[in-house]
Structure 1
Amino acid sequence: MAGLVVNGTQVSYVGQDCREIPEHLGRDYGHFAKRLDLSFNLLRSLEGLSAFGSLEELILDNNLLGNDLVLPGLPRLHTLTLNKNQITDLECLLDHLAEVTPALEYLSLLGNVACPNELVNLEKDEEDYKRYRYFVLHKLPNLKFLDARKVTKQEREEALVRGAFMKVVKLKASSDCGAPSPKSHYTPLPSASRELTSHRGVLGKCHYVYYGKNSEGNRFIRDDQL
């Protein structure tokens, strides 16, 4: 079959644009496969993977897998790569992996929003990535490699002490975000100027402060700009 490569206990089905794992793969090779490569497909689901109960390595790079990713119990799996998918919820994924892949030692999530680095967001930096690593190691303490880096002794120590506090908290978007509250008629003008019939001048002072990731300090408006 075109695209299928079998070499001993290694099964590769790469770049076939399949949206689900073909049934024949599990039926014909699931009972002996130890390494399965399904990269460069269009997978959104891993249904059918339960036939590969002896897997030790699973390659799922460049697919369409998201937060609803579900793996079967894979007690021997030590290597999992999920690079360049659509995973955004890191904690949900890690809790799932801790449950179904107890022997996991190598994990790679590069190219997902859940992995905060410049591959997916230019606003992220090395500090963001460090915090991510501490949180992952807090959840999966047996990892030896994370992404392209070996886990260090210092990282393990940091994860033990601070890892639980490295979770990224996401703000929930409100459906009426930006809509004015019917009970609050906010205006930036002082109350003396709110009457339409009032034409009195109003003098106010503004103090502008810039807050940002790379803060440049306070910025002021000069007198000649007023």
Structure 2
Amino acid sequence: METSHINDFALCFEKKRLSYCGQDCQKIPSALWKMYGSKVTYLDLSYNSIETLKGLEKFTELEELILDNNKIGDSVCFPMMPRLRTLSINNNQITDLDGLVNKISVKFPSLTYLSLLSNKACPNQLSDLDKDDTDYQRYRHFVLYKVQNLLFLDSRRVSSAERRQAATRGEFMRVRRPAAGSPAPLPPSGPSARPLPVDFNSLGKHKGAYGKCIYKYTGKHSEGNRFILNSDL
């Protein structure tokens, strides 16, 4: 879609609140910030295909920004927005939590509400069945440690106990990511060992055998050799 033009039927502007949703825009239409940049405190650009936030700096009075259901990734750049209090980026393509919260903590110093649900960076069972409540709580501690003014994270109020835990433990909840371009670890040298196949049906069922063993000796000094003549050999 040509971003210098907008669909008037999709645009809604009322009482300093601007919405422009569901138009498959890859970036913020320039017509929006030219006409409304200094007039809005609330901006909703949900359900587009936004990949870059170029032009967002023109919204100088912005306090609430909704970017749900777009294509924002780890390379996104945020402008300095000292008034912004609410940021919602649900269901985008963010995987690097550390990088994101570093940007947010610098660019949005007044932020009190943040929602990152349905991004890979947010280990929530709704978007990743391999994650559990423990993973999610570690994530919360880390985000709260980095963005210390938050009152709500992912639609859940931050408790006093949670804030205290984040202050003491949050630094150690960071998820380490391999550096870009780092070589994959080499396999061990030498012949590869092939483990024996495991019969999973027999695990835990093995029983020792106990009994008397009967040995039968058939060597040349056995008792039976007394009855063998030389001519029989």
In structure 2, distance between residues paired with 1:170 and 1:222:
43
Q: In the alignment, which residue of structure 1 is the partner of 2:152?
A: 145
How far is 1:185 from its partner?
2.7
| C-alpha distance in structure 1 between counterparts of 2:100 and 2:174, whole Å | 13
What residue in structure 1 maps to residue 231 of structure 2? none
SS class of match (2:114): strand
TM-superposed deviation, 1:170:
3.2
The answer for the alignment partner of 1:42 in structure 2 is 49
Q: Deviations over 1:73-125 (max 9, x none)?
A: 11000000000000000010000011110000000000001000111111111
Q: C-alpha separation between the residues in 2 aligned to 1:11 and 1:188?
A: 63
2:74 is the counterpart of 1:67: yes
SS in 1 for 2:128: coil
2:89 counterpart (82, 88, 95): 82
Structure 2 CA distance for aligned equivalents of residues 24 and 75 of structure 1: 23
- SS state of the match for residue 35, structure 2? helix
Indicate if the aligned counterparts of 1:81 and 1:109 stay in contact, CA closer than 8 A. yes
C-alpha distance in 2 between matches for 1:161 and 1:207: 45
Question: Residue 175 of structure 2 aligns to a residue in which SS?
Answer: coil
Matched-pair identity in %: 44
| Runs ≥4 residues deviating over 3 A | 170-177, 219-224
Distance 2:182 2:37 in 1: 45
Q: What's the TM-score, normalizing by structure 2?
A: 0.78
Q: Which residue of 2 aligns with 1:163?
A: 170
What is the alpha-carbon distance in structure 1 between the residues aligned to residue 175 and residue 97 of structure 2? 9
Shift of 1:174: 6.8
Pair 1:186 & 2:192 matched: yes
Q: Secondary structure at the match of 2:119?
A: coil
2:136 paired with 1:129: yes
Secondary structure in 2 matching 1:31: coil
* Structure 2 portions without partners, runs of 5+: 1-7, 209-233
